[in-house]
Chain A
Amino acid sequence: MNLLNAVVQGILLGGLYALVAAGLSLIFGVMRLVNIAHGDLIVLAGYVALVAVWATGLHPLLTLIVVVPIMAVLGYALQRGVLNRTLGADILPPLLVTFGLSVIIQNGLLQTFTADSQKLQAGAIETVSLALPGGLAVGVLPLAMFVVAVLIIAGLQLVFYRTELGRAFRATSDDPSTARLMGIDNAHMFALAMALALAVCAVAGVFLAIRSIFDPAIGPARLLFAFEAVIIGGLGSLWGTLAGGIILGVAQGIGAEINPGWQLLMGHLVFLAVLVLRPQGLFPKGSLA
């Protein structure tokens, strides 16, 4: 029974991992950029929400109205002002610059907010739960967050495959130089992709900050989960990434059930197992519509 509960909780948490991973995957897909500061930007979104709550007394979920646009604008500016300059055939510059960015964000947060753990308090809704058959109880808030995460991933899929913006993203990803001949401004397109990715991640950042405590140093863990979800799911497929996130969440849930020290380890081990046994991921591009 406990195990079943762990699986359900893992699925719900995995949805949020998938949301973080979708952002990472989007950025890599469009401009072949692996952003090492991805996790730290998500933590930053949590802190922006925290400040918004302090300043206005808004409910943490309502802070999304400000956090999402702030992160989107930040993403656009970051890409346009810094990261675009690192793109090219050499993978070192983007990797090292985003690594530096990660250290800058972590220590900036540490300096501003101290190393103390924080949590966004969502109030009474945090304790409401739904009774499921079989004696399971599922928190309404985690369930709602999971549903929103899946909807956002579906929305991203739609944007990518059904809109002009998505078409331009894919064209730029395929062949940036020919895309320019179509009238597509690559620098703008990359910045839009980063803005969209960080908008998505802002939602994930606020959700995660409501679900569990966070501190300035937790970003890299978020990055690793996102990365693992992408690889487990298979590159280039958003639904695969969702599946990857859920598998990771379930693995962590089961690990925690065995021994609290095994929670993170189990997630990593599942990732390594997939890497060794099926390096192309479980659901590579094309296997899912």
Chain B
Amino acid sequence: MLETTGLTAFYGDFQALFGIDVRMQQGETIAMIGANGAGKSTFLRAITGLLPTRREQVTFEGRPIGGLPADVIVKLGIAMVPEGRRLFPSLTVEENLLIGAYGRRTGPWSLDRIYQLFPVLEERRSSPGTALSGGQQQMVAIGRALMANPSLLLCDELSLGLAPIVIREIYRSLAQITAEGMTVLVVEQDINQALAVASRVYCLQEGRVTLEGRPTELTREQIGRAYFGA
């Protein structure tokens, strides 16, 4: 459903991605791991249209989408849970969720379904989004992305800054979401968490894919080498 071929990305003169080839099937959960600065977030920014790329370098559901405006790409069905949650401070929890549905795609996800998934959010629906705890904010960010009824969900560093117990809870919810057939790409520094949910994994290092495979078939050494370099 999503395929990148030779994806490159630049920040001004600085090249951050050097020809990334990634291929995702419908219903898969893919993990992308790599150290700080490996290019994981850049990869997501390029797919979502926040960074310019060449049109043919990204195809989604058979259609070239590279470099389309971010607001157009969401409407095609790619939603993102951004790093650091990025809730809108002047919007309440419920408004944060509702704004996720701005693109008006139809699908199974609604406000009620989100509140079923994260009951605590319904209790806090009228609070400013930023008044919540980090874990609850992450739930809002996930819910907000689901409200777009995407066919592909991108998650950037879900575990960042959260306590281990909260991380486990968030990943349990993610498993529920994938169980319903959602295609998910998880970008993580936390390797264990990522490998636990993923059916396939890509490892990035300095803007290049250094490893690709099924978590069950990869050895610790292989991953360590791909992650940190030789």
**Which residues of A approach B to under 8 Å, CB–CB?**
164, 167-168, 170-171, 173-175, 177-186
Q: Which residues of B contact A184 (CB under 8 A)?
A: 71, 99, 102
Q: Which residues of A contact B75 (CB under 8 A)?
A: 183
What total count of A-B pairs have CB within 8 Å? 62
Give the 8 A-B CB pairs with smallest separation, nearest first: A183-B103, A180-B70, A183-B74, A178-B86, A174-B88, A185-B71, A183-B102, A171-B88
The answer to whether B191 has its CB under 8 Å from any CB of chain A is no
Q: Which residues of A contact B82 (CB under 8 A)?
A: 178, 181
- A181–B71 Cα distance when bound, in Å, is 6
Is B102's CB under 8 angstroms from A168's CB? Answer: yes
Is B148's CB under 8 angstroms from A182's CB? Answer: yes
Q: Which residues of B contact A181 (CB under 8 A)?
A: 48, 50, 70, 74, 79-80, 82
Interface size, B (range) = 20 to 34
Max chain B C-beta neighbours (<10 A), residue from A167, A168, A177, A178: A178
The answer to whether B91 has its CB under 8 Å from any CB of chain A is yes
Q: Which residues of B contact A185 (CB under 8 A)?
A: 69, 71
Given contacts A181-B50, A181-B82, contact A164 B91 (CB under 8 A): no
B27 to chain A, nearest CB (A): 23
The answer to whether B95 has its CB under 8 Å from any CB of chain A is yes
A246 to chain B, nearest CB (A): 26
- A184–B69 Cα distance when bound, in Å, is 10
Q: Which residues of A contact B39 (CB under 8 A)?
A: none
Given contacts A183-B102, A183-B103, A183-B148, contact A178 B71 (CB under 8 A): no
Chain B 17-55 against A: per-residue CB contact (8 Å), 1 yes, 0 no?
A: 000000000000000000000000000000011100000
Is B69's CB under 8 angstroms from A182's CB? Answer: no
B152 to chain A, nearest CB (A): 13
